[in-house]
Each structure stands twice: as C-alpha cells, then as structure tokens.
C-alpha cells in the first residue's frame, strides 16, 4: 500500500531525503536515499533524486518495501527466565543484549536465545521478532514479557495500549533533584537535529513518565521511574529534558560521567494481567552488579 505526504509551506525548499526522515519515523536517512535511488519515491508521479528540493503543494508518494526475512537461528545463550508457563515468559535481560536481530546484530540476541530455550513463540511480529511484545534498550537491563502464542500476544499488547501494564525502572541521573516526586508529560518524536536520536518535540507522540527520588548523592540522584506510555528511549529523553540525564548514557548524557557500559537504567518491576487466567502477575528483580557497584561508589564519595 502506497503512502502519501503533501508538502506544506514549512517544508518549502527542503531536500526530499531530509524531509522524509522527519515524516517517516521508522526509516533512516540512508534508507530513504536508497529508496529514492531505487525509484520507489515519487513527487507528483515522477521519480526524483535525494537532493531534490520540494515545493509547497507537491505530493510525495512512497511504498516502504517489506523487509526480507532473515534466517533466525536458535543459539545456546544463557538467559535468566524469571517466570514461564504455557502462555508467557518473563525474562531478566542483561545489559548489552539486543532484543531481536537487525542490521549489525544477526546473532547473540534475546530472540536467538529464546528460540533455543522455548519451543513455541507468538508469530504476530514475524520471524524477526517472535513473541516480542515490548522492548527495552540494548544497554538497559531488567524485566521483559514475551508471548508464547498469539492469544497471549494480543492480550499483552492490548494491556500495553490501555496503559494497564505496570513498568517501574531504577535510574541513576546527573544532578540533585530537589523535589521528591514529579511527572514529565512531554511529547516525543525524532530529533530534527539528529535523526538517530529522539527528543521532546511539538507534534510528537504523547509520552508520560512519573518519577520519585529514592536517594540523593553528591551530583547524582537515584530515581524510580514509572512508565505510563512506552515511547522509544522515553526515560532517557524525559530525564534529559528536565536536565537530569542518565549517568553513562552515550546518546543523551554528558561525556564526563560515571564509568559505565551504557546508561544506568534497570527495568526492576513488571506487572500485568495473565492473558489466560486474568490473575495479576507481578515480578521484581535486583539491578545488575555494575549498577550496584556504582551505587556503592557514590556512597563512598559521601564519606
């Protein structure tokens, strides 16, 4: 199915590849340039080059090609399964593990590990993302729910949509937060200055994060964040927005920070209604060793 976009006055004279990276959230600029080269993007019915400058009133049409299916192989990778039954698996994902195969990460992912340990997974998200209902970032550790069949997948996805899934995170952030509770209600979309990042932007998707302070340190604060929505990089973007970026965050944090392999963010608590029984299930896991060691280091600085 083709998609269309009408060029507005604000778009006047923008390069078409740059404009489409703003319009199509799921595509990178290099992908769009490839589509333009292949002639699957047209302006008023005619193919154009990447450097074409659009004019108000023009109609851009494109058809995003279906990704070629990858041969996803089971791999004997140790994973911590916190809970499992005939419908659902809850996994404690380690920091550094990618959720599903994609460009640059065709093996060593959580999906590769799941395919080895579990016979059946929901097929709703296709062969690349079997059973995956929601995601956490590569360098974020913690709890993730996985569907073993389509019935469970539909139920869990609906709960996420209705905002009834309880997801709590612990994070170490820069600066000292001087109020104990807060809510960040700010829309998130692609950063117009850097398409590889997300940002709080006008016209972005609704995003709400609640937080409370757990502990104060000199120059840092330990917080608990509760997600009401689940946008890409939501906690990382929202904490940066209120000028308390996550420690160790290579994308949204300062360069001079704590010595960490990625952002200090841990999905510690997960609660949902069981898709078959209706029973409320809640799980909690401790942060990984590196996170705990960082807290101990911050404690020693207080002495």
137 part of the active site:
yes
Euclidean distance between CA atoms 168 and 224, whole angstroms: 7
Are the C-beta atoms of 32 and 17 separated by less than 8 Å?
yes
Q: Which of 11, 137, 139, 249 is catalytic?
A: 137
What whole-number distance in Å separates Cα of residue 194 and Cα of residue 213? Answer: 30
In degrees, rounded to 5, the angle at the alpha carbon of residue 146 between the alpha carbons of residues 143 and 147 is 155
- Assess contact for 284 and 158: CB atoms under 8 A: no
**Sign of the torsion formed by the C-alpha atoms of 176, 179, 182 and 188:** negative
CA 299 to chain centre: 30
Walk across the sheet containing 46-47 and list its strands. 3-6, 59-62, 41-43, 46-47
Element (H or E) spanning 265, and its range? strand 265-273
Structure tokens at 18: 């740059």
d(CA 74, CA 130): 12
Contacts of residue 27, Cβ cutoff 8 Å, sequence gap at least 6: 20, 21, 35, 64
Sign of the CA dihedral with 206 first, then 100, 96, and 83 last: positive
Catalytic sites, residue numbers:
137
């Amino acid at each position: 199915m083709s998609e269309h976009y009408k060029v507005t006055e604000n778009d006047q004279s923008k390069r078409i590849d740059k404009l489409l990276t703003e319009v199509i959230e799921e595509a990178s600029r290099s992908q769009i340039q490839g589509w333009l080269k292949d002639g699957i993007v047209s302006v008023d019915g005619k193919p154009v080059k990447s450097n074409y400058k659009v004019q108000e009133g023009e109609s851009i049409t494109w058809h995003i090609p279906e990704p070629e299916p990858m041969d996803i192989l089971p791999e004997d990778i140790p994973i911590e399964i916190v809970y499992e039954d005939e419908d659902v698996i809850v996994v404690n994902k380690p920091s550094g593990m990618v959720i599903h195969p994609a460009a640059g990460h065709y093996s060593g992912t959580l999906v590769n590990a799941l395919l080895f340990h579990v016979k059946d997974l929901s097929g709703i998200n296709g062969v690349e993302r079997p059973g995956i209902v929601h995601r956490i970032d590569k360098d974020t550790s913690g709890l993730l729910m996985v569907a073993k069949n389509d019935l469970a997948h539909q139920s869990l996805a609906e709960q996420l949509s209705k905002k009834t899934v309880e997801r709590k995170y612990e994070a170490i952030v820069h600066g000292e937060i001087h109020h104990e509770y807060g809510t960040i209600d700010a829309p998130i979309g692609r950063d117009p200055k850097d398409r590889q990042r997300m940002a709080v932007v006008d016209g972005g998707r609704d995003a709400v994060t609640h937080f409370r302070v757990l502990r104060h340190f000199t120059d840092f604060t330990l917080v608990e964040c509760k997600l009401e929505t689940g946008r890409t990089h939501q906690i990382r973007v929202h904490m940066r927005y209120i000028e308390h970026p996550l420690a160790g965050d290579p994308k949204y944090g300062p360069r001079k920070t704590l010595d960490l392999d990625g952002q200090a963010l841990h999905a510690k608590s997960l609660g949902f209604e069981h898709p078959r029984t209706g029973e409320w299930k809640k799980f909690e896991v401790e942060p990984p060793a590196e996170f705990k060691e960082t807290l101990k280091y911050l404690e020693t600085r207080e002495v």
